[in-house]
Amino acid sequence: MTANTKEEALRTLRSDMFSFGRLLLELFTGAIPFHYVRQDFKVMMLAMKGESPQRPTDLADHIWTLIEHCWHPEPSLRPNARDVARSLRVAAGPPTKAFKWYTGVTLNDHDFSATLPDPLPPHLQEYFLVEMTKLREGMIYHLPLDPTEALGSLAQVYSATKCYPSDVLHECEVAKSKSQPSGVGGFGTCWEGLFLGCHKVALKCTHSTELDKEKKEMEREIKAWKGLQHPNILPFIGSVILDPECRTYLVSPWMDNGDALRFVNENRLVDCVKLLLQIAEGLKYLHSQNPGVVHGDIKATNIFISDKGDARIGDFGLSHPLALGITGNFSTAWTVAGNPRWQAPELLLGVGAGDKAVARRTTCSDMFAFGRVILELFTGAAPFATNPSNM
């Protein structure tokens, strides 16, 4: 039982976490809390005073720290179930040297002042991703202790490599930096945020208010986007759950130059052929995966420009592996999604006839949309710009 006032004496998610701390103690000791106190009223008096059961002498420090975190007298400062599960997941794993690495030995061995090749060769990408994964496990294992040291080390590695494990992120790694969204699109809302305390990132969430629908949309986009590594593909940093509503956000590097349409309109002397070559290289990479990845929504506003002026394909909300083009169990809303200004004729005919097989997006429909992008970049306007209606 928690020691909250009578007015606050309602069972809540946070009181559940308090009880979970008691459960942890039970499982590690094999005895109920305050087992050495015989009378229940005395137990209640101790609990109301805010006193805690005695710590067993053989209980590991990190487990006791987690238990005390669950027992925090201020309910809002107790961990949520997601945080606890994440900590225990690491603790339940096999013994590893990850926590020795947490001291920074490997980081000190690497000279971060040296210039790394851009893009990183596959073997270096793999090396850094493994090392960052170890560091993140160590950090999460030690929460709720101050993660500042680990975040600083992670930020150092990320600055040098521009790659990340593309995993589910902890909320201490990401935060919104502004109170209002930076943009709203057809499928989601974008927010500006900070990653590891110093890197600007974009946080994207769907418009859906239905949790099951939102989950499926996010899982589909993550599956298509995760693991893609190419200079002309917007990197996927990871996903994170934020806000009281527990919304899922997809995290990617912030592109200060915005999208390709905005970029060519603000920089009239830009080399459009160079940008189109980079977009074509990105599409070639997607389509050559095994299985190939159909982007499904190629247009200038879904292509982002890095600080060096390079094109990067993003927004994989309508993407899918080529092998699922016919057999994928997609909703009608997802099948008909997209803007007719960029859609190939076969997609429009299939949607009009209600034929999902005909309306499926393919690498060929991606190339049709790429033709529209060529027109966009050279004219600085969307296809059929003189016609304001999509009908």
Domain boundaries, the chain: 6-79, 98-165, 174-253, 260-379
Contact 49, 3 (CB under 8 A): yes
Quick count: other Cβ atoms within 10 Å of Cβ 219? 12
Q: Averaged over 80-100, what is the pLDDT?
A: 61
Q: Which CATH class is domain 6-79?
A: mainly alpha
The candidate with the shortest Cα–Cα distance to 300, out of 230, 246, 376, 242, is 376
Contact 336, 359 (CB under 8 A): yes
CATH number of the domain at 260-379, please? 1.10.510.10
Q: Which residue has the higher pLDDT, 88 or 205?
A: 205
User: What DSSP state is assigned to residue 27?
Assistant: H
Reported confidence tier of residue 23, pLDDT bands at 50, 70, 90: very high
Q: Which residue has the higher pLDDT, 28 or 185?
A: 28
Average pLDDT, the chain: 80
Q: Which helix (H) or strand (E) element contains residue 303?
A: strand 303-305
Reported confidence tier of residue 259, pLDDT bands at 50, 70, 90: very high
Tens of pLDDT, residue by residue over 163-216, are 888 888 988 899 998 888 888 766 678 999 999 989 999 999 876 666 676 677
- Confidence (pTM): 0.69
Q: Is the pLDDT of residue 60 over 90?
A: no
Strand partners, 320: 294
Tens of pLDDT, residue by residue over 151-161, are 888 888 888 78
pLDDT of amino acid 92: 63
Q: Averaged over 66-75, what is the pLDDT?
A: 88
pLDDT of amino acid 46: 82
pLDDT of amino acid 391: 57
Instruction: State the Rg of the chain over Cα.
Output: 25
Does the fold of domain 260-379 match that of domain 6-79?
yes
Question: Which phi and psi angles does 251 have, rounded to 5°?
Answer: -110, 130
CATH number of the domain at 174-253, please? 3.30.200.20
Q: Averaged over 260-275, what is the pLDDT?
A: 95
pLDDT of amino acid 299: 95
CA 35 to chain centre: 44
Tens of pLDDT, residue by residue over 317-341, are 888 777 654 444 444 444 456 788 8
Position 215, amino acid: K
Q: Which residues contact 223 (CB under 8 A, 6 or more apart)?
A: 321
Q: Is the pLDDT of residue 110 over 70?
A: no
| Most confidently modeled range among 38-52, 68-82, 85-99 | 68-82
In 304-343, alpha helices (H) = 332-336
